[in-house]
Amino acid sequence: MQQTSTHSGSKAVVEGIGCDASPLPIDRLLHVMHIASAFDRMVINEIFLRMDDMEGSIESWRSRRAGQCLTQTVWIRGTSLASIRAMRDDLLGIEGVLRVRLEHIYLCGNPQAPV
């Protein structure tokens, strides 16, 4: 595996990661969004509404409650890095959302395999 990168300010441009990708095609990207929020009906409803307006498809959504905190893990396909980062920033603007963390996974092999 050959990897080269150049840095322009705080943004990195990476070429030749993994299989044979140079830029990463949207259909091979899987994004995992981890959302921590207050366990409040209004906050949860607002998260659902904003996620529903997002481009791409939600593959899986899991929630876990611990006291007054709700953690949600959402697997998303069919959207770009820029779009998913914009969604993260949008969710962080909701009062009651404590943290949103993103993972980006490049799928080698069969990109249609289930999560």
CATH of the domain at 94: 3.30.70.1150
Whether 8 maps to a domain, the answer reads no
Whether 114 maps to a domain, the answer reads no
Which whole number is the average pLDDT over 28-43? 93
Which whole number is the average pLDDT over 6-23? 41
Whether 79 maps to a domain, the answer reads yes
pLDDT digits (tens, 9 = 90+) for 40-89: 999 999 999 998 888 888 999 999 999 999 999 999 998 888 899 999 99
Give kind and range of the element (H or E) at residue 97: strand 97-106
The whole-number pLDDT of residue 109 equals 65
Whether 113 maps to a domain, the answer reads no
Whether 18 maps to a domain, the answer reads no
Domain of 73?
25-106
Domain count, the chain: 1
Three-state DSSP state, 12? strand
Is pLDDT at 16 greater than 60 in this prediction? no
Give dist(CA 23, CA 10) in Å, integer: 19
User: Considering the entire predicted model, what is its pTM?
Assistant: 0.70
Whether 1 maps to a domain, the answer reads no
